[in-house]
Structure 1
Amino acid sequence: MIASILRVMALSLIRDRGALVLAFILPPVIFVIFAAIFAATATDKLPLKVAFGKAANHEAWHRFEKVLRDDPSLHLTSAASREVEVRRQVERGTADVGLFLRDDPDITEAAPVLIVVEPSKPLAGAVLAGQVQRLVARDLPDLALSRTISTIEPLLGGLTPEQGERLTKGIAELAAKTTSTASHEGPGLVETVTVGAPQGANTAVKYYTGAVAILFLLFSAMQSAAILIDERNSGILDRIAVMPAGPEVLVYGKFLFLVAQGVIQAGLIFAAAAVFYDVNVITKVGLWLLITIAAAMAASGLALAVAATCTTKQQAQTISTFIVLICSAVGGSMVPRFMMPLWLQDLGWLTPNSWVIEAYQDALWRGQALPEIMPELLSLFALAAIGTIYAVAISKRRLRL
């Protein structure tokens, strides 16, 4: 009897392609995604996009720039000549972190290397600072030594011409070496500054408010849209089809309901964040509402497309779970995208999660205006339109069959 039960269950699983995907394909896919993410975060070599700049064409800076660009974990932009340009790239989120090389590495009044950090990505600044210290100690020991001498020379009352000549020669010989066993850090080599300092809530809470909102918008829309399958199988869609407007009425009506449900749901999430974590959206409530409506529309359009394609409610639940989990893992709802390998970051731009998260980040926390978030909004509106039109077309086709 036990063997018969096992046989029946095994046959049921084999015949259900959706269950097979959910049981045996989704787990390794999710594992590969998270393994790729945490393989990078387990080291100090996150694949960072670095806004790079230097104020002067100092010989040491030329060598340092080459060392930085040769490091596979750092992806530098073209060199800017002003510090404000580096800051602007970090503030806008086009780079994970900024690095600016000041006028002269031998001046001890200020650190020659400036690292610019956005509040939502403090880990990126810490990792880059460690990378800079490591690369200087390994590949540019003469830079660290020259700064050390510049610091202690005034305490010694200056160096004689002979001592200065020997020191200059020694530093030049050290610079000529390709490797070094030096492990000490130059004094005050790196300074870290934060741009767009946050007010109120912790930046991680702000990030995950939007990330969780789109995650649950997708889940709830998928679950609610699956009712379309029951209505189609029970004949309700056939009876509505004889009306002048046809099946469009049912699809558009459900679309509007799902959008309204999504806006309320996101509003409750942001309200909880405001009450418990001091997340402030009141000052940008107009942009917040626009982004939320766009996010709800995109989730609704995608959900209706899935429901229209599937033939059974169980199949729809399986496929929707697969889509939501993959989009959320790759799009940044589970782990911030800057911590992912670059190929996974690029893949994340194909998901509605990344569009919504970036739109919330740009509008609410980075203070950007409507024109600057239009690419994300247009992507969300396009997904909503394509998904809804597709759902209407498939519903009409099924009625003809």
Structure 2
Amino acid sequence: MMSGKPITVETSTPLSSVVGLMRAKGIHEVPVLASGRLVGLVLYEVMARRHSLSMTSKAEHVMVVPPTFPPRATFPEVAERLLETGRRAGCVVDPKSGRLLGIVSRSDLTRLAVTIPSLAGQSILPAAQPPPRVLKDTESARTLLSDLRTLEEFALPVVDAKGKLVGAVALKDLAEAFWRVSTIGKRDRGTREQPPNPPVSSVMSTPAVTVPSDATVGEACRRMTRSALSAVFVEEQGRALGIFSQGDLLRLAVRSRPREQVFVEITGFSPGSDPRLLSELDQALARGLKRLGRLTEPRTLSVHVVPQDQRRTGQATVTMRMHTDRETFASERTDWSVLAAAARGLEELGEQVRKEKEEKMGGKRLSRLKDLPEDTVELSGQPELEERLSRSLLPSPDRKRR
């Protein structure tokens, strides 16, 4: 699973040398060692978010603490840890000596996924997400600087005046357009050039890498691996129906793992957001999962918040994707607040689950999610599920990303 013999640097290595290695080797992460032991990881996406960056800085000044795995970690375990930490790669470390054995990245898991029939054989369309934003080829690329968090997950589609898919913009494209490394004398430094608002068409990659709507997850993984991309577009008649990313692959792997808790992933919050809002959203999701547990067995719930502003009552859009052991359900709601949008999204998920179960039960009517009492935890005939869902309601801050 891991990439053995990784390229490494020391804590004192200049950032200019680290960037040079990344570009020369086509890698996005470089482990940092001190006396032969792993102490950090330099990530391309972390540097891309920096407003100013001196190439004379040392690696230890920009490195982050990486997720680590034991040598015997399984695919679902690695996938869950990468999702929990929001990182694109982690390090395999000898638990006794602390010696770095290798790196496991999302790209490594993507290559491996094609050999796992339970993953590779699944249809891609239910697992793909609607594009969070569709770009016009004539709009300013500078507006994308506010969407770096989205670009870390996958590329955004670019369409022409007729709505036809003509290209894509990824984090790498944006970084190369607005972040340059220049050499002055013997010292290198990073600068952000200020071009006169280049259009998206000048920074996008073209053509966009696509798969048909009837493709499998395995076919999508092969395209991502062959093209060295983190996502592909699901296309039908020249239009992007959705995006399937390495993150979506990881979520499929996580849902296959036997677990005692529902894996909840919250994204979209900026560092300046009100922390009370995240706490209130967590409680609302817990109540919703408790009710949903009477209808199905949730494995994972991904929640993405797109606030119109940073106030607690600002109009917001909340998208949700819930995986059970066999099904995927999705909702997207916009309302006057994050909590209101989340509540409506949970109700929509409940309606989808209810209708799907009624069809399987030959038309037998089931209660709507909003009609189920909040304080009911008894799950008729499913005591083990009741216990797992009860545990899932306990606070678990390490499973939430802002």
The reply to whether TM is greater than 0.5 is no
Q: Which has the larger radius of gyration?
A: 1
Richer in strand (by share): 2
Q: Which has the higher contact order (CA 8 A, sep 6+)?
A: 1
Give the TM-score band, short-chain normalised.
Answer: under 0.3
Richer in helix (by share): 1
TM-score of the aligned structures, taking structure 1 as reference length: 0.23
